[in-house]
Amino acid sequence: MQIRNIAIIAHVDHGKTTLVDKILHATHVFRENQETGELIMDNNDLEKERGITIFSKNAAVEYKDTKINVIDTPGHSDFGGEVERVLKMADGVLLLVDAFEGPMPQTRFVLQKALQLNLKPIVVINKVDKPNCRPDEVHDAVFELFFNLDATEEQLDFPTFYGSGKNGWFNSKNEQCADITPLLDGILQYVPAPKVSEGPLQLQITSLDYSSFLGRIAVGKVTRGSIKEGQSIALVQAGGVIKRSKVKELYTFMGMGKKKAAEVVAGDICAVVGLEDFNIGDTIADAETPEALPVISVDEPTMSMLFGINNSPFFGKDGKFVTSRHLRDRLMKETEKNLALRVEDTDSADSFLVYGRGILHLGILIETMRREGFELTVGQPQVLVKEIDGKKHEPYEILVVDVPAEFSGKVIDMVTQRKGEMLVMESKGEMQHLEFEIPSRGLIGLRSNMLTNTAGEAVMAHRFLEYKPWKGPIPGRNNGVLLSKNQEKTTAYSIDKLQERGTFFVDPGEDVYAGQIIAEHIKPGDLVVNATEGKKLTNMRASGSDDSVRIVPRKQMTLEECMEYIQQDECIEVTPKKIRLRKSILDEEERKRFQKVLKTEEVGR
C-alpha cells in the first residue's frame, strides 16, 4: 500500500481541526450512525474549552488504496516547539488560509519552517462562503508570502484549492461541489511518497504518547529500513550515548486510534512500545550499525516565570500535591515532552525558574498542573535579556492588529506608549490592518487593555522576530491595588462601603487573608483596607437602609489575564479550586521595610 504523510498548518482559528474532521468523515473512518461531535481531534479538556489545538495529533485514513497519515498541528506561536518537531514526520503540508483574513503572522512562522524542511505545499483557501471574503486577493498574498520566504521555483508552483471546511467541500475551481474528494485526490497527486534511503533501520522520535498500561510510547517516522516486533535495537541519544533495547510492541495509526503491526516499513509513522529512558530527538537505529539522525533543534524560550510552593495561610486546603519535591518532579516530567520548556533550580529550594515561549505556553502548563491537584505560586512573567557585543538586547515581536477604523487611533496610541513602532497601516474592508514592531515586554498586559479600549473588536496576533537593543523602561499598570488587612470572610456591608475605591476581585462571604489583593484601586498606589467588618446591630430598625446594599459583581479574570496583570512584587496563588492574587510579602510592615531597602540600594547606585 502506498503512503502519504501530510501536516495541516495554519494560523489559529482558520479551520485546521474542522478540516481533519471532514477528512475523517469522507474516508468513512466512523460508522454511518456513529455520534462523533465536532473538532474530534481536540480531545484534551483544555483544548475543548478554549477551542484551540495545543498538542499535535496523528490520524490516518485510507483513500484509493493509499494510506494518508494526517498530522493536526497547533496554530499559536507559543506552541511552535510542537509544530517544528512534527513537521519532521511529514512530506507535504496543507497550508490552510482564511479567505477573509489572508495569511497571518502564524501562517508565516509555520510556513517558513515547512519550506526550510523542503516539504511540498498545497494551499487551501478556506471559508469562501463567508461574507466579505476575497479568495483571489488572498491567493496573491499567499504567493507573495512564499516569495518573501525565499521559496524555490518548485515550491512557488503550488496547487490551490478553494472551499468551506464547515460545509464540507473543496475543489480547485472555487465552485461549490459535493464533497472534499477533489482535495483528497490532490493530496495523492501533489504530495510525494516518503523519501526512503537504502540502509539499516533509522527512526527519529518526534513525539511521545503515554498509556497507563504500556507506559511511555515513542512516536516517529521510519526514515529507512524497517522495524519489527521483538527486534533488538540501539537507542542513540544526544552526545552519542548508545543504549541497547528491544521493541516489545509496534503500532501504526489507523483512523483515530492505533492498530498492532508486526512490521513497519520506511515511510510510515509508527508508535514503539518497550523503550525506557528515551527523549524526543533520539534515534532508534539498527543494533549492529547504529547511526544517529541530526538532533531536532527548537527555537529558544523568550520568557521566564518563578514557580514556587504555595506559602499562603490557605496552603494545603485544596490541593493534593503541595511540596517542593512534588513541584520539581512534575516540572522535570514536563520538560521531557515539552521541548520549548526549560526548568532551572534557584537559590531557594522551594522555587524554580521556568522558561517558555510566551504567556499562553506557560499558562497552559499552570492550568494543567492545577487540574492535576497541584498548589503553587507563580511570579510575574519576565522576558529573557541577552548580552550581545556588550549591550543589553531583548526579544522583539511583530504585532498584527485588525480593528474597526474608528478605534485605530486608540490602538496606535496604546502600542506606541509601549515602545512599539508602526510598520504597516492598510484597509481591509471595514477593518484597519495595523502591523507593529514591539518589545515582548510591551505585549504583557496589552491584550486586556486593547479589548477594553476597542469594545472587544480588536483581533491581535504576534510572533517572535529577533533580539534587538533594549528599549528602556515601559510603563506598567497605572493603578494600585486594595489589599486585605486581616484573615476572615468578606462582608457585603464592608464591600459596599469600599466600592467607590476600586473594582473588586472577590465576592461577599469569601475567605481572604492579610496581603491578598482583593480589588484594583482607582488611583495609583496600594491601600490596605478592611473588607471583613460586619454591620453593628442595634435595636433600632432603619427602614429601607438594610436593603440598599447594591454590590457590583466581581471582576473575573482568567489565569492568563492574572499573569499579565500582576507587578514585580506580586504573585498568583493557584490551587485546584481558586486563583488568588497576592503580594509576594504578605506582612505590611515587612513590605514597607523591604521597599525602604530597595530605595536605599537604588540611591546608592
Contact yes or no for 400/460 (Cβ under 8 A): yes
C-alpha cell at 176: 461549490
Q: How far is CA 437 from CA 100, 418, 535, in A?
A: 23, 11, 54
Whether 347 has a binding-site annotation, put simply, is no
User: What CA–CA distance (Å, rounded) separates 602 from 79?
Assistant: 39
Whether 433 has a binding-site annotation, put simply, is no
Whether 15 has a binding-site annotation, put simply, is yes
Whether 471 has a binding-site annotation, put simply, is no
Q: Amino acid identity, residue 531? A: A
Whether 13 has a binding-site annotation, put simply, is yes
Residue 91: which of 64, 63, 118 has the closest Cα? 118
Say how far residue 477 (Cα) sits from the centre of its chain. Answer: 24
Whether 110 has a binding-site annotation, put simply, is no
Residue 297: which of 462, 113, 148 has the closest Cα? 113
Whether 323 has a binding-site annotation, put simply, is no
Whether 14 has a binding-site annotation, put simply, is yes
Whether 17 has a binding-site annotation, put simply, is yes
User: What CA–CA distance (Å, rounded) separates 271 from 514?
Assistant: 52
54: Cβ–Cβ under 8 A, 6 or more apart, which residues? Answer: 44, 46, 47, 74, 76, 79, 82, 364
Which segments of 341-428 does DSSP mark as H helices, in order?
A: 359-371, 408-417
User: What CA–CA distance (Å, rounded) separates 407 from 412?
Assistant: 9
Whether 16 has a binding-site annotation, put simply, is yes
388: Cβ–Cβ under 8 A, 6 or more apart, which residues? Answer: 467
Query: H helices then E strands: how many in the chain?
Result: 15, 35
Length of the chain: 605
User: What CA–CA distance (Å, rounded) separates 469 from 395?
Assistant: 9
Q: Would you list which residues are annotated within the binding site for GTP?
A: 13-18, 126-129
Q: Would you list which residues are annotated within the binding site?
A: 13-18, 126-129
